[in-house]
Every structure is written in C-alpha cells, then in structure tokens.
Amino acid sequence: MGGLLFAAFSAFWTTLVFRLSTSPYHYGAEVAGFFGLLGVAGASIAPVAGRLADRMPARRVAFLGALCTLLSFLVFAGLSAHLWGLILGVILLDLGVQAAQISNQARIYSLRPDARNRLNTVYMTSYFIGGALGSAIGADMYAHFHWLGVASVGFVCSFAAALAAARPVKRMVSQK
C-alpha cells in the first residue's frame, strides 16, 4: 500500500514542473519549489496521524490517508487550471501520504518487535521502488496524455492503495 501511494506522490511531484510550465501558468521551476513548501502541511500531520493510529486501528488511518490521496488526484484532474486547485491538491496529497506512511509504519512495528529493522527495510525498499516506478510512469503518461494522464496514474494508484487498506487481514497463528 505504501509503495502505491508513494508512486502516486512521485508521479505528481516529478511532473509538476511540466504542468506549471504550460498554459495557463507558464511558470519556471522556481515556482514548483514554492509548492514544495506546502509539504509542511504534510509534515504537520505526522503527530496527529500517530495519535490517531494509537486511538483507532492503524489500517483505518491508512485507509483514510489513501482516500485523502485519491481525493487529491480528483482535484488535480478537475481543478488544475486554477492555482488554488493545485494548492488544495498538494495539501491533500501530502496529508494523505503522510498519514498513511505514519500508520503503515506503526502497523509494521507492531508485527514483530524483534524484527523491526528487517520489516522496515522491506517496507521502505518497496516504498522507494513504488516511488521510482511512479516517477517513470508519471513522466511517460505526461508525455502521452499530459496532466490528465498523471492524474489518472495517481488516481489508480491511490484507489489500489485504498482497496489494499480496506481488505480483511488474515492473522497468521504460530503453531508450536
């Protein structure tokens, strides 16, 4: 699930400069840097997401994060011609990905405390593979289908992540 959300996140951030350099904006790369500052909103949610993951099932927080990310790509698809639409989408994207990331790590750490490092390594490796694939696919989709292609990639990845978070979990019982 984390890899899917990071794929969506990376598809967006890789192609944002392309979107901002075309109509109606015609901005340079420095304006895309301004959008990076909006990521502070995502960082600010970390303590809140951690507390939510402590109070409710972490899967639910991850699911809500995936839904927030999904919503961001609907905003990007429908409102990216307006600067405020891009700003709103960035805030939703960062909040959603950050909330899911925090809750996913809480879930991982609760699985086997004696194997935290190994489990986190597997999770983060899959997370960054998802991000690399999202960047590549996002750039390719932008080249062929422009901004709507990028929004579609983000939507599909976010939808798949939400499905993964919503599916029932089979608990493995150790037989001794």
- Res. 53: pLDDT tops 80: no
* CA pair distance 85, 16, nearest whole angstrom: 13
Segments in the chain forming alpha helices (H): 2-20, 29-37, 39-44, 46-55, 58-79, 83-111, 116-166
Whole-Å CA distances, 155 to 14, 130, 134, 162: 16, 14, 12, 10
pTM: 0.90
Q: How far apart are the first and last CA of the chain?
A: 31
pLDDT of 160 reads 98
Q: Is 146 left (phi over 0), alpha (psi -120 to 50) or beta?
A: left
Residue 168: pLDDT band with limits 50, 70, 90: confident
**Top-confidence residue, 104 or 175:** 104
Which pLDDT tens digit goes with each residue over 133-159? Answer: 999 999 999 999 999 999 999 999 999
- Res. 110: pLDDT tops 60: yes
Judge: domain 2-166, CATH 3.40.50.300.
no
CA angle 2-170-61, nearest 5°? 40
> What is the domain partition of the chain in residue ranges?
2-166
* CA pair distance 103, 144, nearest whole angstrom: 35
* CA pair distance 164, 127, nearest whole angstrom: 14
